Amino acid sequence: MTLHARSAIFYLLLALVSIGAATATAQSGGTLVQRLDSIAGAGVLENRAVGITAAVVKGNDTVLLKAYGKADVEGDVPMTVDTIVPIGSVTKQFTAAAILQLRDQGKLSLDDDITKWLPDFETRGNKVTLRHLLGHTSGISELAEMPELRAMQLMRNPTATRDDVYKVINRHPFQFPTGTMQTYSNSGFWLLGLIIEKASGMTYEDYVEKKIFEPLGMTRSMYCNNSGSRAPMILPAAGK
């Protein structure tokens, strides 16, 4: 996740570890916690990360919940287990989960053509399915590399609308024929966000709030921006 050039860069580490009975028996509780603490804090100690929060859970027990390093280097603000951090592209996992929920509800199919949901999308002769979008194989041009969107300063531009972004993506040529290659695609997941809205009848932010956060008890999780950029959600560094 990249913030302003002079801002701190920090990472969210959420580890859900299943620890086998044999391993647990072989190690005392104190030894296990020390080992996990050493692994979790290594990134900060080795200057590979500015700040990390690690959570290790076994069943209903929290084995380790600890923060390391800084949340803000210039302000000398320590990372804590309550620090709120933007999760950036990890938001894609929530988008994928929402698509699969809607699939399970019979509201869409992974093999739906994109034009079923976005009829005016220019496929340029390609058959693009939701499965292609999820798997980064659609060939749709990358929005982060589009000069118009860079000039728009999407992540910090509250005036940019989703229609503005959609029009730019729609007029760019494909990078490659759909299904022939795989390349990381923010564009594909941005378009999946629109499809979630159409299939559910809810805004993306309302959907993740009502259908993911609330059922899971994620009371301190939120979508941080309603602008056209579909900016990353904010999640607590650990816990709910």
pLDDT band at 27 (very low <50, low <70, confident <90, very high): low
Bridge partners of 84? 236
Q: Does 98 lie in the same domain as 74?
A: no
Domain CATH code at residue 148: 3.40.710.10
* Residue 117 pLDDT > 80: yes
Q: Does 145 lie in the same domain as 195?
A: yes
pLDDT of residue 155: 64
Q: Taking residues 119-137, report their average pLDDT.
A: 97
The DSSP secondary structure of 88-133, one letter per residue, reads: GGGHHHHHHHHHHHHHHTTS--TT-BHHHHSTT---TT---BHHHH
Q: Taking residues 84-113, report their average pLDDT.
A: 94
* Residue 37 pLDDT > 80: yes
Q: Does 98 lie in the same domain as 64?
A: no
Q: Taking residues 67-76, report their average pLDDT.
A: 93
Pairing between strand 84-86 and 222-223? unpaired
In a domain, 63, yes or no: yes
- Domain span at residue 141? 89-235
In a domain, 231, yes or no: yes
Tens of pLDDT, residues 163-181: 888 999 999 999 999 999 9
Residue that terminates a domain, selected from 61, 81, 101? 81
pLDDT of residue 219: 84
Residue that terminates a domain, selected from 28, 55, 81? 81
pLDDT of residue 173: 95
pLDDT of residue 150: 81
* Residue 47 pLDDT > 50: yes
Closest residue by Cα to residue 190 from 215, 227, 158: 227
In a domain, 240, yes or no: no
Exposed/middle/buried for residue 38 (C-beta within 10 Å: 0-12, 13-18, 19+):
exposed
Which position has the higher pLDDT, 223 or 199? 199
Which position has the higher pLDDT, 48 or 149? 48
* Residue 80 pLDDT > 90: yes
Q: Does 168 lie in the same domain as 98?
A: yes
Q: Does 95 lie in the same domain as 74?
A: no
Q: In whole angstroms, what is the distance from residue 52 CA to residue 31 CA? A: 21
* Residue 203 pLDDT > 70: yes
In a domain, 66, yes or no: yes
Q: Taking residues 98-116, report their average pLDDT.
A: 98
Question: Considering only 56-70, 91-105, 225-239, which range has the smallest mean pLDDT?
Answer: 225-239
Number of structural domains (the chain) is: 2
pLDDT of residue 144: 86
DSSP state of 211: I
